[in-house]
Structure 1
Amino acid sequence: MSRYCSQCGKSLKACICQWIQSLASNVELIILQHPSESKRPMGTARILTLSLPNSYYFEGEDFSQHSELNQLICDPQVRHFVLYPGEGSVEAQASMSHSEEKIRVILLDGTWKKAFKMWQLSTNLHDLPLLRLPSELKGNYRIRKAPSDNALSTVEAGYYILSILQPEQDFSPLIDAFEKMIQFQIDQMPAGVFEKNYRS
């Protein structure tokens, strides 16, 4: 008998499926995950793929020749954006999704260093417009060291981009599942470990 959940991939004890809600979204997400993230017990991208039935998930580092991704990008009926704060990126706004055209947003799932490497290698993304989130947003990944206060986990980034582009829809179950997953992990820590290592 497997020690891991066949749905979320986490250990049965840490299974997050009980907190997942299926959410409708007109905007589709494509999650490109660095291989090093797929083995992390605290990876948050899985919350997005489980909660959003129309999302896409691919694992790798260089996606230049990724046939499925390239097929999606080449769809003339869909506008594609990359959520990446690179040169020329524009802040996401609700008005971007008011046209009849379908929108897909590509998220790079990895540390800042790994995401930068993915961006450099995946030249097929370089011709797509870049989106960035408002700089004042604060991340709440309490049990993972972040380079800055506004560094967001992948599920937080997905939540915010969907909420900005579709303000009429409620995507809070994504954050609820994230918070419960984090709290469960904190509860498993020996007394004092969280305060010592993660609280400033």
Structure 2
Amino acid sequence: MEFGEHDDGGGGGAAAPTGRAICHAGCGRPSSVCLCPYLPPSPLSTSTTVVILHHPHALRRNPLSTLPLLARSLCHLHLIPGRRLLPSSAPLIPRSPPNPVLLLFPSPDASDLASWCRSTPPAARTKTTLLLLDGTWKQAKEMHAASLPFLSSFSVPVSLPVDSGVDGDSMFESELIVRKEPHKGCMSTMEAVARALRFLEPDGRGADIEETMVGVLRAMVAFQAEHLQHRVMKPRLKMRKKKDLKKDEEMKRDAGLV
């Protein structure tokens, strides 16, 4: 998300600072789109530990990443940069965990998370570890395949409903979609965590946690949608193949134009 905002100088003939004003003490976003009023006053405590393997480019090249907001919303959240999970890179995920480790990813062998919770007694799913993969869908698939040799022996594959036969929504069709999704039911990492915690948290606390997190995401999407509605989009130049350009040059040469 790119917003332009310049601070006025404080007077005294000093040069006015340039660049956007940033909310450094809070959400870390430009002040004009600050989300601090929507974030919980302090990170939410959960019985579920959330571990996210995020692609090295997820934060550096994706200004719409929801990971920074997740980090400010949850206490028991751990971010691991990398392209795959190994025993050495994931000390938070032991090979023989005393509590369930759920791998939330829409793989063919994944069980519906709600069904898993209904069939698993509350005492058997306390202090669950919820593991997610963050990146583009192509990156996430590659990360999933690369991590399976380590995870398949002890993690439980689960998913939230996704319909691969229907195109996903955009932010102009849903108040929670950060960018166009490939399939119906696909969602941002923050929304996926919120929906999962609704099922996993005991004593009915999941619904309140979900609503708080969804409120932050809803505000973020509203800022982005408003920005795009007022943005003048420049037409993209059509890329042409080298062989087509060479053919045009030959035709001009034959016609004596070059």
**Is 1:191 equivalent to 2:230 in the alignment?**
yes
**Aligned match for 1:58, one of 73, 80, 91:** 80
SS at match of 1:73: coil
Contact kept? 1:119, 1:125, Cα under 8 Å: no
SS at match of 1:5: coil
Contact kept? 1:70, 1:124, Cα under 8 Å: no
Contact kept? 2:161, 2:185, Cα under 8 Å: no
**Is 1:19 equivalent to 2:38 in the alignment?**
yes
Aligned to 2:123: 99
Relative distance call for 1:8 and 1:35 in structure 2 (3 A) is farther
Identity of aligned residues (%): 25
Q: Distance in 2 between matches of 1:155 and 1:121?
A: 23
**Aligned match for 1:156, one of 172, 179, 191:** 191
More displaced 10-residue stretch of structure 1: 114-123 or 96-105 = 96-105
Aligned to 1:147: 182
Question: Which structure dedicates a bigger proportion of its chain to strand?
Answer: 1
**Is 1:166 equivalent to 2:205 in the alignment?**
no
Residue 78 of structure 1, CA deviation: 2.6
Aligned AA (1:132) = S
Aligned to 2:158: 131
Q: Distance in 1 between matches of 2:194 and 2:220?
A: 15
- For structure 2, list consecutive stretches of 5 or more residues without a partner in the other structure: 1-16, 234-258
RMSD over aligned Cα, in angstroms? 2.8
The one-character-per-residue Cα deviations of 1:60-115 (angstroms, maximum 9, x if unpaired) are: 11222543x13433463332110012232111133336015420110111121110
Q: Kindly name which structure, 1 or 2, has the bigger radius of gyration based on alpha carbons.
A: 2
What is the TM-score normalised by the length of structure 1? Answer: 0.81
Q: Distance in 1 between matches of 2:47 and 2:31?
A: 32
Relative distance call for 1:33 and 1:6 in structure 2 (3 A) is farther
Residue 188 of structure 1, CA deviation: 2.5
Aligned to 1:180: 219
Aligned residue pairs: how many?
192
What is the TM-score normalised by the length of structure 2? Answer: 0.65
